[in-house]
Structure 1
Amino acid sequence: MDDLKASLARPIQLAEQVIKLADEAHTCRQECQDLKAKLERVSTLLRQAARVDLYERPARRILRDTDRALDKAAALLERCCGRGFVRRFFTIVPAGSFRRASSLLDNSLGDLTWILRVSNYAANDDEGDDRDDDDDDDHIGLPPIARNEPILFLIWEQISVLQYGGLEDRADAAASVVSLARDNDRYGRLIIEEDGVPPLLRLIKEGRADAQESAALAIGLLARDPECVDLMILAGVCTSFVKILKDAPMKVQGMVAWAVSELAANHPKCQDAFLQHSVIRLLVSHLAFETVQEHSKYAVASKMSIHSVVVMDKNSQSQQQGPCSEQAATMAAKPTVGGTSTAGTSSAAAAAPGPSGAACRGPVGLAGTRQHNASISAASTRGREYEDQEIKAYLKGHAARALGTLATGNAAICKNITESRALLCFAILLEKATGDVQYNSAMALLEICRVAEDNAELRRSAFKPTSPSARAVVDQLLRVVDKADYDELLVPCIACLGCLSRTFRASETRVIGPLVRLLDDRETDVTLEAAAALAKFACTDNYLHMDHCRSIVASGGAKHLVQHVYFGEQAVQTAALILVCFLAHNVPDSEELAQAEILTVLDWAVKQGYMSQDPLIETWLPEAKIRMELYQSRVAKGYY
């Protein structure tokens, strides 16, 4: 901005010089006086511009054009100020030159008037009813500089209002920016290039709830381009979002959570920036609000031993009754996260193991239990229990979506999520929620499971069989798969079980059966995902592949696979053949495989050239055929 102020010095000085030339003109005096009147107005507007904060992007272009107009006028007036009688007599100035110079000055006047009006928007707004009637009739029209590209003018106008307008006008401008950004990607790029992001971020911090919501929506719509996301991160979008996620109306927080998911989905490199600003923790806190506390059967055991909790309870009960009663009354007056009050325990303490109906708990016990619920207490929840259920679901749905996009391919964020209570929340929401909350929870689980599939450390820490959260997740995944209703949850839940295949023990017999039954499903995507998941159980990368292969065969998988290899669509055909290869390679002596004539299937598949194009089939089909011939050639001959 200081550089912009300095660039005003030359046109101001040049305007004064040209005005003097107009007074000294000897030829075409009337035309020169007409130009002088316009030059004086230009000079006045330039001096006004030097005293206000200008919207920088259009201001620089306007000043360049104004410089050019003043240079043209100066050259013309110098010709009219020729020294000496002979020079004045022979100087010919075409009338068209004055028209062109006048037109350029008119354009500069229009541009300068426009930039001053939009830059003084706040002052004009504050004047309110004190403005004259003539001012009321004024409106910010299309400046000459934007006539060749009207959409650029619209963008400038809205951004200038976002920068300098009052709160109500800024809210309207944010809604207009949303409409422009939604129209096409080019408008979004122009908004970012014209410095539209910083005022949107300021509006998120300072505006009314509807303005904050519109600004967050605009940020999300502008995140279509990775370069744009980089610019937003540099502009401080993380800091602004953190402030909203900590303390703002729930509907605004839901929109910000959606915007986070858009930024992370379109530019995964920004995931770490959100992690560093503790956005993950805040999203988990919104997900856990009124979720975990309502389902005590899923409560995660505290790291404190049961003995220590009992000792603290006894110590607190042995204190004097007076202080206990006063403390209990004070605590009872505070609303809990779940929206109810309890005498003698906070909502955090209620979730911890041990009796929750004690008349009084000591400070040490409260600190211990609250420590394990830090993620929930991170955000302000006072009064939120009275919010409309649709608003609560709106926030939870977008928080789950944001966690899923942030977790995509990022082991550090997945570890951060799984170390919180998020897995438990996903399990509960998968069971109890509906609509977007349930679906986005399933998709977030899928992204975490995909990372865990390739990350042994995350598998061991987050999905160990003894973990209550992991057990709750697996229970809900199996419930959906076993129910086998064809809906939007079925496919991601099947994929989750496949990704977690290496976490199941050999004694875990309840997983394979439901997946095998889905091989008989009439929906192609379900059959394809079930075959792919079972292949992860049966592949040699899985330590228990022999046990899993026997379970697949024992559950009747071979007969379904034969049908899909022969008659399935190409994608299903390929997935089924890969699983057949694993079964034939790992348990070639299986009687069920012989009865299903798997060797004949492999012989047929070898002759189908298009099937061998898959790398896995190319690798495993010859070896599987050899092993089946070795172990079951006699049996196979008997069937022919």
Structure 2
Amino acid sequence: MGNTEDEMRIDQVFLSLNLLKDAIGVAVNEAVTSLAEVGNQADTIHHMLWSVIRLDCSLYGRPFLRIAADVSKNLKSALTLIRKCKRRSILRRIVTIVTQADFRKIQRLLDASIGDLRWLRSIFDYDVGGGSIELSLPPIVSNDPVLAWVWSFIAAIHFGPLSDQMEAATELASLAQDNDRNKKIIAEEGGVVPLLKLLNHGSSADAQIAAATALFHLANIQERVRLIAQELDIQMIIRILGEFPMRVQIWVANLVARMAEHDPVAKEEFGRTNVFIRSRMEDMIFRSRTENVISLLVTLVSSGNFVDARINKEIKRTSNLNYRRDLSSPLSSYWDSNHKIKNESVNPVVQHKLKISCAEALWMLASDSVANSRRITETKGLLCLAKLIENEPGDLQFYCLMTIMAITAAAESNAELRRAAFKTNSPAAKSVVDQLLRVIEAWDIPSLQLPAVRSIGSLARTFPSRATRVIGPLVELLSHANQDVATEAAISLGKFACPENYICFVHSKTIIEFDGVPPLMRLLRSGDRPQLHGLILLCYLAMHAGDSEALEAARVLTALEGAADRAVAALHPKLKELVPQAIYHLQIHRTGAHPHRPSYVP
């Protein structure tokens, strides 16, 4: 709700309360007994309301409207009681009995309204509040202190000095971290807009971090992410990622990751929005470019020695081309800020944390998004990610692997992206595959091997025939002690051997040549998930290389017939068709016949 709407509502509420006060004054004069105390309370309420209205409470009208509604209810109750005391006939006075207890109750309610308004004025007027955040509780929320604290903190961000704004944002972040009810209250009471304004405040990195932290904790469900996205200016995010200190960039990258994780609309908007930037280089030549969140994240995650070398080459190349450059490259924006960055006192620990946050954000942006995955590959992000996987063990390596996994999954579902980003002769694609295989073979860490194996499986259609350097390591993992790793290897090998892969016959023979049948047979004796994917791969091998002696020696036909008898279709509907087909091919080869091999289109 905008300020204009708040102003209209506040004016309407004030007019209504003013009419109630006047009505109470008239009723007091007509009362049979003295009700001066109640009248005085009504006058006090009127004066306090006027003092609050004179402040700019329309900038944050939530607590005013909530308290004014309660004041209105109390004034109406007082008016009803006073009218019962109006001079009437004797009969009327006999049936309308007003006790002292009724008057005391009304007086307590009006005193509570006065207390609420006094507290309200203190959070809007820092001179009245003593120049600090008000943490006392108004009577209206004495049983729910969180609501009063939230009102006070949000008001402090609106009206207080920068130091109080930072403190209030920190307190909101702490409340939001505690539980979802607090998050809901902060969002419903209008906390998002002032936090975003504080995030955009460039004069204090600590204040920006406090605001970004609070927003990060709020953005854990789609509803609140949408609320933030509606008010968020993505140009602000781009500006922060491009210009502000690393400590601020870390939390903004975290916020981008959280929002992308919980809302697909926000995810696509982060990748789609481009900002036109005109900048001046050191030799006074002006240059223009467009930036978006993804390109800046790739720039930040790739900053380091190996990128510096690329930047120097880029500068030399472009100096011969009148500074016409590939504006889609992350090196372009990094080039502009390179001089500034090199002259800053860069803390390596902070820089490493920034890379981790940016890598996680890229993972969330690429997940289930072909468009964002394409944008990452267009910014030369694949090469950067491959280098980081090679040189940066730990969390950074993990998030880079997860980003690669998300991009390859998108490429698996989109032939255009697959052909553009993972061409056989592409240096970036080759570098990615090399690092994935290195993780699979050299790092016996399941949390790293799993995304690497999935990525290789997603790229199965991009590998040529006799892809022994890829298939061999996957077959080795079929015997891995970790059942999840072994199962994932079976799934990935299944993508090489499935009918949708046009060279499935060659890949199936290669899997068998690498002695993949024995560990597959062992998977059939494992849990449901390993058994399922082991059976699927075994069926593919039987269908496409049924004449193999390895299948005969391992008694695969007997195993599949036993699986058919056990109604393996219960594990997966796909097996209902695959198992009979595999049995048929094995039986045909056993009798010496040769089934017709259909042609497959890639």
Normalising TM by the smaller chain, what interval? 0.7 to 0.9
- 1:338-374 Cα deviation digits (max 9, x unpaired): xxxxxxxxxx3424686xxxxxx85745444777532
Say if 1:459 and 1:423 are closer, same or farther in 2 by CA, change over 3 A: same
C-alpha distance in 2, partners of 1:90/1:458? 85
Residues 146 and 153, structure 1, Cα contact 8 Å, conserved in 2: yes
Q: How is 1:449-464 mapped onto 2 (pairs within 5 angstroms)?
A: 449-464=408-423
Give the deviation of 1:248 after TM superposition.
Answer: 1.6
2:51 corresponds to 1:48: yes
Match of 1:568, SS state, is coil
2:120 corresponds to 1:115: yes
Give the deviation of 1:438 after TM superposition.
Answer: 0.8
Of the three residues 507, 513, 533, the one matched with 1:575 is 533
2:156 corresponds to 1:172: no
C-alpha distance in 1, partners of 2:31/2:526? 95
Say if 1:492 and 1:378 are closer, same or farther in 2 by CA, change over 3 A: farther
Say if 1:415 and 1:276 are closer, same or farther in 2 by CA, change over 3 A: same
Given residue 118 of structure 1, which amino acid in structure 2 is its aligned partner? I
Given residue 40 of structure 1, which amino acid in structure 2 is its aligned partner? D
Q: How is 1:178-327 mapped onto 2 (pairs within 5 angstroms)?
A: 178-206=173-201, 208-236=204-232, 238-277=234-273, 278-290=292-304, 292-293=306-307
Of the three residues 547, 558, 567, the one matched with 1:600 is 558
Give the deviation of 1:484 after TM superposition.
Answer: 4.6
Given residue 518 of structure 2, which amino acid in structure 1 is its aligned partner? K
Residues 606 and 612, structure 1, Cα contact 8 Å, conserved in 2: no
Q: How is 1:373-392 mapped onto 2 (pairs within 5 angstroms)?
A: 373-377=331-335, 382-383=340-341, 386-392=345-351
Q: 2:523 aligns to what?
A: 564
Residues 241 and 252, structure 2, Cα contact 8 Å, conserved in 1: yes
Give the deviation of 1:531 after TM superposition.
Answer: 0.7
Q: 2:545 aligns to what?
A: 587
Say if 1:61 and 1:612 are closer, same or farther in 2 by CA, change over 3 A: closer
Q: 1:513 aligns to what?
A: 472
C-alpha distance in 1, partners of 2:346/2:85? 76
Identity among equivalent pairs (%): 34
Structure 1 segments unaligned to the other structure (5+ residues): 129-135, 300-347, 355-360, 636-640
Residues 288 and 421, structure 1, Cα contact 8 Å, conserved in 2: no
2:15 corresponds to 1:35: no
More divergent stretch after superposition (59-68 vs 435-444): 59-68
Give the deviation of 1:237 after TM superposition.
Answer: 5.4
Give the deviation of 1:562 after TM superposition.
Answer: 1.5
Given residue 438 of structure 1, which amino acid in structure 2 is its aligned partner? Q
2:5 corresponds to 1:9: no
Query: What CA RMSD, in Å, does the superposition of the two structures yield over aligned residues?
Result: 2.7
Of the three residues 488, 491, 499, the one matched with 1:540 is 499
2:577 corresponds to 1:619: yes
Given residue 583 of structure 2, which amino acid in structure 1 is its aligned partner? K
Residues 584 and 628, structure 1, Cα contact 8 Å, conserved in 2: yes
Match of 1:265, SS state, is helix
Q: How is 1:469-488 mapped onto 2 (pairs within 5 angstroms)?
A: 469-488=428-447
Give the deviation of 1:534 after TM superposition.
Answer: 0.5
C-alpha distance in 2, partners of 1:12/1:268? 48
C-alpha distance in 1, partners of 2:561/2:92? 104
Of the three residues 360, 372, 377, the one matched with 1:401 is 360
2:457 corresponds to 1:498: yes
Q: 1:18 aligns to what?
A: 24
C-alpha distance in 2, partners of 1:175/1:392? 23
Residues 496 and 507, structure 2, Cα contact 8 Å, conserved in 1: yes
Q: 2:66 aligns to what?
A: 61
- 1:372-394 Cα deviation digits (max 9, x unpaired): 53243476872366311111111
Give the deviation of 1:437 after TM superposition.
Answer: 1.0
Given residue 297 of structure 2, which amino acid in structure 1 is its aligned partner? L
Given residue 11 of structure 1, which amino acid in structure 2 is its aligned partner? L
Q: 1:162 aligns to what?
A: 157
Say if 1:502 and 1:90 are closer, same or farther in 2 by CA, change over 3 A: closer
C-alpha distance in 1, partners of 2:357/2:264? 17
Q: 1:330 aligns to what?
A: none
- 1:569-611 Cα deviation digits (max 9, x unpaired): 2211211111110000001111222222222222222222245
More divergent stretch after superposition (614-623 vs 32-41): 32-41
Give the deviation of 1:208 after TM superposition.
Answer: 2.2
Say if 1:230 and 1:89 are closer, same or farther in 2 by CA, change over 3 A: closer
C-alpha distance in 1, partners of 2:523/2:81? 86
Give the deviation of 1:79 after TM superposition.
Answer: 4.5
Say if 1:139 and 1:389 are closer, same or farther in 2 by CA, change over 3 A: closer
- 1:295-345 Cα deviation digits (max 9, x unpaired): x6xx6xxxxxxxxxxxxxxxxxxxxxxxxxxxxxxxxxxxxxxxxxxxxxx
Of the three residues 443, 454, 459, the one matched with 2:402 is 443
Residues 568 and 575, structure 2, Cα contact 8 Å, conserved in 1: no
Give the deviation of 1:411 after TM superposition.
Answer: 1.0
Residues 352 and 369, structure 1, Cα contact 8 Å, conserved in 2: no
Give the deviation of 1:621 after TM superposition.
Answer: 0.8
Say if 1:352 and 1:634 are closer, same or farther in 2 by CA, change over 3 A: farther
Given residue 198 of structure 2, which amino acid in structure 1 is its aligned partner? L
